[in-house]
Amino acid sequence: MRYSTEHKQQTRDKLLASSGALAKRGGFASTGVAGLMKAIGLTGGAFYTHFPSKDDLFTEVVRRELCNSPLAQGTVDRKRLKRLLDQYLSMAHLHNPEGGCPLPPLGVEIARAERPVREEAEHWLVHLHDAWSLTLGDTQQAWALISQCVGALVVGRMLASEPLQAQVLQASRNQVHKAFDETE
């Protein structure tokens, strides 16, 4: 039985969405093709009608996840960016890796991935950096804030104690606010 082009695209989209959530929750490398396909109710053999390899799927997952981030919406005014970063550095975001930014949970896997995956992440990060640089008027501050925010979530998720997690996030929000004050 042949499926329509629309059905194939819907299945591909479901696979991308499910793979993104699974990767952010438990790691992409640790989930096999059979597990990725099972999550959307299909067999592992059907995978290769959508992607030539698991690396190709990971490249698409990275593209999709990074492009859909609220922080990737281009240049925003200072007030909105500050508000977005406060939301980013929140306990709600810390406790929701599958629904949040892909960089904290997938950064190490992206760094170890094949070049196309890293190039996709680089493309998005440069786009984000350029937008924040325009907003802040400072290219170095933009890189520092990107690193600060991603690092704060990584460290916060490493900790077992919620009070310590909250301290890390608050300290990072304070640094973000200080950076905004310095670039005004």
**Are 57 and 99 part of one and the same domain?**
no
**Are 137 and 165 part of one and the same domain?**
yes
**Are 107 and 169 part of one and the same domain?**
yes
Question: In 52-89, which positions are buried (b, 16+ CB within 10 angstroms) versus exposed (e)?
Answer: eebeebbbbbbbbbbeebebeeeebeeeebbebbeebb
Indicate the DSSP class of residue 96: -
Is the pLDDT score of 172 beyond 70?
yes
**What's the rounded mean pLDDT across residues 33-44?**
80
Is the pLDDT score of 129 beyond 70?
yes
Query: By the 8 A CB rule, do 95 and 101 touch?
Result: no
**Are 88 and 177 part of one and the same domain?**
yes
**Are 102 and 169 part of one and the same domain?**
yes
**Are 58 and 77 part of one and the same domain?**
no
Q: In the prediction, which pLDDT does 175 show?
A: 94
**Are 171 and 104 part of one and the same domain?**
yes
Q: In the prediction, which pLDDT does 133 show?
A: 92
SS3 state of residue 177: helix
Residue 21, judged by CB atoms within 10 A of its CB (0-12, 13-18, 19+), counts as middle
**Are 81 and 57 part of one and the same domain?**
no
Provide the mean pLDDT of the chain.
88
**Are 53 and 103 part of one and the same domain?**
no
54 confidence band (pLDDT: 50, 70, 90)? confident
**Are 48 and 87 part of one and the same domain?**
no
CA distances from 65 to 69, 74, 150 (A): 6, 15, 15
Domain that holds residue 26: 5-64
**What's the rounded mean pLDDT across residues 67-91?**
84
Q: In the prediction, which pLDDT does 18 show?
A: 86
122 confidence band (pLDDT: 50, 70, 90)? very high
* Domain closes at, from 31, 48, 64: 64
In sequence order, the 6+-apart residues with CB closer than 8 A to the CB of 52 are none
What domain count does the chain have? 2
Q: In the prediction, which pLDDT does 2 show?
A: 67
**Are 97 and 170 part of one and the same domain?**
yes
